[in-house]
Amino acid sequence: MLSQAQKSEFWENGVTVVESAYSAADLEPLRQQHQHWIDESRQHAGPFGEVLDGRPRFDVEPGHGKESPALRRVASPEEVSQAYLDILQGGPLIEAVADLLGADLRFHHAKLNSKLPGSGTTVKWHQDFTFDPHSNDDCITAMLFLDDITHEIGPARVVPGSHRGPLYSLWHKDVFTGAVAHEVAARCETEAIECLGPEGSLCLMHTRALHASSENLTAGPRTLYIATLTAADAIPLVPCAVPSSYSGSILHGRDPGRIRSIAFAMENPEIPAGASFFNQQAGGG
């Protein structure tokens, strides 16, 4: 699935984009399902639905309402949609991650992140590994673009090479903010590259890569389907903040029946009290 240049870029920079990995026809069922959820969200004043641990499945931006729906997150869509389950059962996303991590792959979690026009949704600088520590860091966040991702639409931005650097704290003054310190974020702003591409493209990002994204300034939606896959011998060290009945299942290859670990130290992450990490990043738990 991946060229040698894409594999090298991933290990060098911690990120690579595979353009047009999925066709418009592949995306159609995913889009239709998402539109259905946006329409459904108009009936709700706040977060709704439920995932395994009782927290809401559907998260909305403050200011969300019937006339201007701002559904910003659907947790574990594979549990409630065949179209999203199908993506995990084989195809470009799985094959691309297998090209990087080897044949034996395990599912950790998935979500849909949406920035609807005018919603103001942003993501502050963070590393995924400090939310989802595993016994080793062969973990990839795969982001499938459901829309054309341009500079104006609030693309994911990644600091190249940061996956080979330190793990940064997400705790500040005894509060889990889900974001790195301001001085680290300021450095990221100057060093980051944007992950751009047409709809159907796949951005593969190392779990330790520092990343963020800013507001969608266009009149159309910016939706990413985001799945975290790991080498099958990378075992989660904390409960998943986006729980799924599919977490831990083998998506490719086989279960090696072993755990591989690397040395690192970090603070425990905190499961958000509400529907998603957006509230933590906004300072509201």
Provide the binding-site residues for ligand AKG, judged by CB under 6 A: 113, 123, 128, 156, 211, 213, 224, 226
CA separation for the pair 109, 274 (Å, rounded): 17
Q: Which residues of 120-157 are buried (b: 16+ CB within 10 A; e: fewer)?
A: ebebbbbbbbbbbbbbbbbbbbbbbbbbebbeebbbbb
Q: Which is nearer to ligand AKG, 66 or 172 (CB)?
A: 172
- The residue with tokens 């103001």 is 120
One-letter amino acid identity for 262?
A: I
Amino acid at 4: Q
Minimum CB distance to ligand AKG smaller for 76 or for 113:
113
Q: Which DSSP category does 210 fall into?
A: -
Type of residue found at 66:
K
| Distance of closest approach, residue 252 Cβ to ligand AKG, in angstroms | 22
Choice between 106 and 124, CB closer to ligand AKG: 124
Judged by CB, which is closer to ligand AKG: 33, or 216?
216
Beta carbons within 8 Å of 274's beta carbon, 6+ residues apart? 47, 55, 56, 59, 284, 285
Report how far residue 88's alpha carbon sits from residue 46's, in angstroms, rounded to the nearest whole number. Answer: 29
Q: How far is the CB of 111 from ligand AKG (least distance, A)?
A: 7
Nearer to ligand AKG, 73 or 252 (CB): 73
H-helix or E-strand containing 120?
none
Closest approach, Cβ 122 to ligand AKG, in A, equals 8
Identify the CA nearest to 170 among candidates 206, 122, 127. Answer: 127
Nearest residue to ligand AKG on Cβ basis: 213
We find the least distance from the C-beta atom of residue 212 to ligand AKG, in angstroms, to be 7
Helix, strand or coil, per DSSP, at residue 267: coil
Is the Cβ of residue 108 or residue 211 nearer to ligand AKG in the bound state?
A: 211
Q: Nearest approach, Cβ of 137 to ligand AKG (angstroms)?
A: 16
| Alpha helix ranges (H) inside the chain | 4-13, 24-41, 82-88, 92-101, 182-191, 277-281
Beta bridge partners of 18: 202
Q: Which residues pair with 162 in a beta bridge?
A: none
Shortest Cβ 276–ligand AKG spacing (Å) = 8
Nearer to ligand AKG, 107 or 233 (CB): 107
To ligand AKG, the closest distance from the beta carbon of 256 in angstroms equals: 27
Instruction: Determine the straight-line distance between the first and last CA of the chain, rounded to whole angstroms.
Output: 40
